[in-house]
Structure 1
Amino acid sequence: MKALDRIADTLKASMGLDMATVGSSLIERVVRERMAALEIEDDERYLAELITSGAELQRLTELAVVPETWFFRDREAMSAVARMAREKLASMPAGQIRILSLPCSTGEEPYSLAMALFDAGVPASMFRVDAVDIRTRSLEIAADGIYGRNSFRGRDLAFRDAYFTVQDGDWRIDDRVKEQVRFSAGNLLTPDFMRGSAPYDFILCRNVLIYFEREVQLQVVDLLEHLMKDDAYIFVGPAEGGIMLSPRLASAGIPLAFGFRKRLPEDRPVAAAAVAPLPAIMLAPASAPPVPPRPVAAPTRRSAPAAAATTEVHVPQLLLDRARRLADQGDFAQAGELCEQAVREHGASADAFYLMGLIQDAGGDVTAAQRCYRKAVYLQPAHHEALLHLAALLQAQGDVAGAQTMRQRAERAEKAGKPRENAHG
């Protein structure tokens, strides 16, 4: 085995970063940068330095982690935490909400959480955010609380006027927000990570699991479960939902938030008969001939009452809504059948194929999931979530170039202001 491969293995054992996921070019680039800084030209010599020096391993880790975050990224998760925290405190007025942001990067996420709770009317004394990251440089930036233009994206920047002051062309976050967040360094993969920590009401661990191989993903999810209270919620990134679904964790059913909770003893898949039938008023008469599948926008060749037009638009969505509820309850088989029924009776739909992909992904059939995601992207090239999930599957299969292409397409779709509504809570 070449020295560079052993260096990559050392980095992977330390922080879980899989070369098959991020690409060998990234690993080689950061290694060469550290070798140049140390004036080392021989790979074997640098490997020896890396193995014997914890400080050098930390420096290499700092370079390998590329922070990419901004304030109120995936705003739905922030809003969900604030709303549920307020509701929970209503029944425990003397309590305090504990929130964990992991990894917290340069602080935009935990500070966003604090601002969201303030906006929801939660007093400072009733919540605390713990923020942990492996990269000490990121923690230094977070502690300073001074941010440039790249940390503020999107159109809704009202929070910047409310919680920041201008300082030398940048923005400095208010002390009242800083005081709610406690930063610390930590590595998810160390045996003693957060050992003995009290459990949390909410955990955000987003956009990090996709960089680990499957065995490490399961190890981290197990750790996070132990850090959750029985009624806690955990939020992950858009491409990580399939990783979280398990016999112990269930979808929280919060649209676009990618939240999960511990399954309760009474959680059971709901039988198909228990689901309310579709409203009869929305269905075509039983005697009507079947309508051949066609795009919704296709012109009709015969006149029809307004109610008939409403039927063609709404019945597929009702089927998908039922499928979504069943999938959230763990009844993947029935949910998949409803998706197939929607496609069979009302034509191909990007949302239907995306939901089918999520169902297959949760069931462990990655080949079928990938096929469904590709169909969704074919029908809707800017389907943001389908692109991200497809990227995650390609990464897991070692197709780094394909995964990068899908992520770039998803980023372009998001920047164009056309994110698709997630079809699954």
Structure 2
Amino acid sequence: MKQVRFRVGNLFGTRAIFGQEVYDIVLCRNLLIYFNRELQDRALTRLKDLLATDGLLLVGPAEAALPRLHGFISAEWPLAFAFLESEPIKAAAPTTAIPVRTSTPKLNKSKPVLRPRLTVGKENSAPALAKPVDQVSESLVAVERIANAGRVKEAQEVALAHLEKFGPSAQIFYLLGLVQDADGAASKAAQSYRKALYLAPNHREALVHLALLLRKQGDHSGAEALADRLVRVQKRSGT
């Protein structure tokens, strides 16, 4: 087995810092979001140079749109934002096209269930039950799972089905914006991110993605305003 070597270096330093060899896997989670567009381009160019031909680049969910701009291809691995320079390794297809659950799911005892909502003024009518929290959560997880697998068209269909069934929420608008962004529908993605922020003004992922999208569209002032807003949110939360 080859020896493991550790090096400390600046990503923007000389190539010699990293040695002459190339790397099979590069983990680069939540680094690119702190750079402006020029530095993002420089970083991805360097990371591409460091990777082997069949190497794997892993980034954070807020950075998933960036590698595609430099020719990377989604590896289509569930629950991972992984990218290859060559053809992706195909993940096993699920047995159902749109895995949004319509039947009553098994309840997780660790999560609360909304209490029944009583109907006022109708003595003989049965109480109207609210949707179980687990059912909403599992539907959101289904959208994420399909999006992580790189099936953006299908993910959009599932997200819209979730909206119709459960109504609006910041998380579903964020996920919808994410897959619209990955599909190249920038204007629709921006609208979805803004809806997420309307419902949850401190939604960090929506702030990051909308800032990246605005910067890509040339709206640098709008992107900087969102970046400043994100900094304030992080300071208030102590992160």
TM-score under structure 2 normalisation?
Answer: 0.73
SS of structure 2 residue aligned to 1:202: strand
Task: State the match for 1:211 in structure 2.
Answer: 36
CA spacing shift, 1:394–1:299, aligned 2, 3 Å: farther
The answer as to whether partners of 1:203 and 1:233 remain within 8 angstroms in 2 is yes
Is contact 2:139-2:162 (8 Å) kept? yes
Could you tell me whether the CA contact under 8 Å between 1:233 and 1:260 is conserved in 2?
yes
Query: Shift of residue 391 of structure 1?
Result: 1.0
Which of 10, 13, 29 matches 1:132? Answer: 10
Indicate if the aligned counterparts of 2:76 and 2:91 stay in contact, CA closer than 8 A. Answer: no
Deviations 1:314-348 (A, max 9, x none): 22221221111111112111111111111111110
Tell me which protein shows more helix as a share of its residues.
1
Is contact 1:382-1:418 (8 Å) kept?
A: no
Cα distance 1:247–1:403, how it changes in 2: closer, same or farther (>3 A)?
A: closer
Listed as ranges, the matches of 1:193-342 within 5 Å are 196-204=20-28, 206-207=31-32, 211-212=36-37, 217=41, 221=44, 224-229=47-52, 230=54, 232-235=56-59, 239-245=62-68, 248-250=73-75, 259-262=81-84, 266-267=89-90, 270=93, 273=96, 278=101, 280-282=103-105, 300-302=117-119, 304=127, 308-309=129-130, 311-342=131-162
Counterpart of 1:132, as a letter, is: N
Q: Which moved more, 1:381-390 or 1:329-338?
A: 329-338
Q: Which amino acid aligns with 1:129?
A: R
The number of equivalent residue pairs is 222
Of the three residues 14, 25, 30, the one matched with 1:186 is: 14
Equivalent residue number for residue 412 of structure 1: 232
**1:211-248 alpha-carbon deviations (Å, 9 max, x no partner):** 236xx83x864653452244644335x64221124662
Deviation (angstroms), 1:412: 2.0
RMSD after superposition: 3.9
Do the aligned partners of residues 376 and 249 (structure 1) sit closer, same or farther apart at CA in structure 2, a change above 3 Å counting? same
> C-alpha distance in 1, partners of 2:202/2:181?
20
TM-score w.r.t. the length of structure 1 is 0.44
Q: 1:398 to 1:223 in 2, by over 3 A?
A: same
CA contact (8 A) 2:76 2:89 kept: no
User: % of aligned pairs identical?
Assistant: 26
Give the unaligned 5+ runs of structure 2: 107-112, 120-125
CA distance in structure 2 between the partners assigned to 1:298 and 1:398 by the alignment = 48
Deviations 1:52-71 (A, max 9, x none): xxxxxxxxxxxxxxxxxxxx
Q: 1:373 aligns with which of 165, 190, 193?
A: 193
Check whether the contact 1:270–1:329 (CA below 8 A) recurs between aligned residues.
Answer: no
Q: Equivalents in 2 of 1:212, 1:239: separation in Å? A: 14
Which position in structure 2 is the counterpart of 1:121?
none
Bigger Rg, which one: 1
